[in-house]
Structure 1
Amino acid sequence: MSRTILRRALAAVSAVAAVAATLAVTTAAPASAAGTCSVNPPSRWTISSPFKTVNISVASDCAPGTHSAWDAITSKGPVDTLVFDGTRTEPFDMYDDDPLGRWTWRPAGCFSADFSQQCAQNTRTMDVRLGGWSGLTATRSGSRVTVTTSAARYAYSVDKFVPWTNVRGTVQYKAPTASTWTGLKYVYPASNGRYTFTYSTTSTRDYRVVFPDTSVVWGHTSATVRR
């Protein structure tokens, strides 16, 4: 059984138990409204390791002891259910084979502490992409400056970072006392994730490389190097 299948099975058991308890208490009389309850997942998530846990909390509008749940819906359909059984914070496990793209946290039920009243829930989204990384080195020989950039992205198929290709980065520079960066050259990583070029300048400059977000990888800006 894969990690994702196991997690979904455990979540389904918890969700069914919560619903059963709710029905047992509320069948005697219809539930009335009990305000609102909102969940606060991160707006973006980076997959950069095989497994990571994020703590997700409900907002202050949730009354103490509220029982609430949200389904995580992705482009591949429902993948998990987050249940707050009277708690305010719950751990949520993210795996590197989870679907990328927009996740929608959709209301799956909300009741007061004694299950006598229902409450309204919010809907939130979370953008899930692979982690990106970039680096830059620069050497000077007289007026000649040689710049080498590196780029990598996480690959869940091998559980590690691999060279990032098919992406365009921008090497930028600025004077040491300046605050505005200027584009110097577009770079296109080779199969090893690197790109090297040499140009002439007598000025001391700060350099960095910027790789933008893509549809599946979060972009990254390298540390600054002065030469």
Structure 2
Amino acid sequence: MNKRVILPALLLPAIVGSGIVTAPTAHAAAQCTLTAPKEVHVWHQYTKVNLRASGACSYGEGLASWDAYHPTQGIEGMAFFDGSSTDIYDFYDWDDFGTYTWRPAGAWSDWDDSAFGGLGGYHELTQNTPRTTFRLGSKVTMSTSRSRSRVTLRVSATRWSPTASRIVKYSGINGSIQYRTSSKAAWKTLKSFRTSKSGGYSLTYTSSKSRHYRTVLRGTGTVWAATSGTSTR
């Protein structure tokens, strides 16, 4: 659903038609469920977020709506299902990052001929309240080399930049180079660091034994954390 096109929940019954919408009853225990991604990693100016509804709201004349609620900015958009099970939420890299709560705004079932003693009507449904966190994507890679007992580890970090509208070197982010002695051992920190202006960091140290290495970048309120692949030297 297009952003910031807000449909009051009170209008939903009218959109369905002239049929009667029931007040909450035992039948309302039936639920309309929204399935939304828990995490969205933003790597482009525009990100398509696929949403899915299930239950009696998602077919026939069923209807359902959820408001996309930001914790500080309020309602930023909505998810709307009109007899369908899929919707698309449009997220742009100039939108507000953070954790959105999908707040129920009303859901009704397909027409039920047996409602009201055979008069027919729509049943109001309960709804869930999922959450989705939007942050910029980040990536870290690590190359390794060994010369006898000297091991060199080189880190390169990147992220998406809304200002530049492209992937840029990720400078000034804290991270750590970690190691472990076997695939079943716990990871230990070898060196904590902060990336340079070019998004890099390099470490050379002495180790006669073979070890597994990886790099972990710290996450922030607007950028996801990242972990490199594992290299053995």
Instruction: Give the alignment's TM-score, normalised by structure 2.
Output: 0.82
Q: Please tell me whether the aligned partners of residues 176 and 204 of structure 1 are also in contact (alpha carbons under 8 angstroms).
A: no
Q: Which runs of 5+ in 2 are unaligned?
A: 112-120
Deviations 1:73-125 (A, max 9, x none): 11322221211001112222222222100111111221222363322222221
In the comparison of the two structures, how many residue pairs are matched? 218
Q: Please tell me whether the aligned partners of residues 26 and 116 of structure 1 are also in contact (alpha carbons under 8 angstroms).
A: no
Task: Name 1:55's counterpart in structure 2.
Answer: 50
Does structure 1 residue 87 correspond to structure 2 residue 84? yes
Q: 1:24 to 1:184 in 2, by over 3 A?
A: closer
Q: Please tell me whether the aligned partners of residues 155 and 162 of structure 1 are also in contact (alpha carbons under 8 angstroms).
A: yes
Among 161, 186, 196, the alignment partner of 1:190 is 196
Separation (CA, whole Å) in 2 of partners of 1:8 and 1:52: 12
Runs of 4+ aligned structure 1 residues displaced above 6 Å come to none
Q: 1:63 to 1:130 in 2, by over 3 A?
A: closer
Does structure 1 residue 77 correspond to structure 2 residue 74? yes
Does structure 1 residue 157 correspond to structure 2 residue 163? yes
Separation (CA, whole Å) in 2 of partners of 1:123 and 1:55: 16
Separation (CA, whole Å) in 2 of partners of 1:140 and 1:25: 69
Residue 93 of structure 2 aligns with an amino acid whose one-letter code is: D
Q: Please tell me whether the aligned partners of residues 56 and 110 of structure 2 are also in contact (alpha carbons under 8 angstroms).
A: no
Residue 59 of structure 1 aligns with an amino acid whose one-letter code is: S
Among 110, 127, 136, the alignment partner of 1:130 is 136
Residue 216 of structure 1 aligns with an amino acid whose one-letter code is: T
Separation (CA, whole Å) in 1 of partners of 2:183 and 2:75: 51
Q: 1:207 to 1:61 in 2, by over 3 A?
A: farther
Separation (CA, whole Å) in 1 of partners of 2:232 and 2:181: 9
Separation (CA, whole Å) in 2 of partners of 1:71 and 1:21: 13
Q: 1:28 to 1:82 in 2, by over 3 A?
A: closer
Q: Which runs of 5+ in 1 are unaligned?
A: 1-5
Separation (CA, whole Å) in 1 of partners of 2:137 and 2:15: 45
Among 23, 39, 49, the alignment partner of 1:32 is 23
Once the two structures are TM-superposed, the CA of residue 25 in structure 1 deviates from its matched residue by 5.6
2:2 counterpart SS class: helix
Q: Identity of counterpart residues, as a percentage?
A: 30
Residue 67 of structure 2 aligns with an amino acid whose one-letter code is: D
Among 98, 107, 110, the alignment partner of 2:107 is 110
Q: Please tell me whether the aligned partners of residues 57 and 83 of structure 2 are also in contact (alpha carbons under 8 angstroms).
A: no
Once the two structures are TM-superposed, the CA of residue 200 in structure 1 deviates from its matched residue by 0.8
Separation (CA, whole Å) in 1 of partners of 2:44 and 2:179: 32
Separation (CA, whole Å) in 2 of partners of 1:186 and 1:24: 58
Separation (CA, whole Å) in 2 of partners of 1:67 and 1:141: 66
Instruction: Give the alignment's TM-score, normalised by structure 1.
Output: 0.84
Q: Please tell me whether the aligned partners of residues 31 and 55 of structure 2 are also in contact (alpha carbons under 8 angstroms).
A: no
Q: Please tell me whether the aligned partners of residues 3 and 90 of structure 2 are also in contact (alpha carbons under 8 angstroms).
A: no
Once the two structures are TM-superposed, the CA of residue 72 in structure 1 deviates from its matched residue by 0.7
Separation (CA, whole Å) in 1 of partners of 2:197 and 2:161: 15
Q: Please tell me whether the aligned partners of residues 179 and 189 of structure 2 are also in contact (alpha carbons under 8 angstroms).
A: yes
Does structure 1 residue 226 correspond to structure 2 residue 232? yes
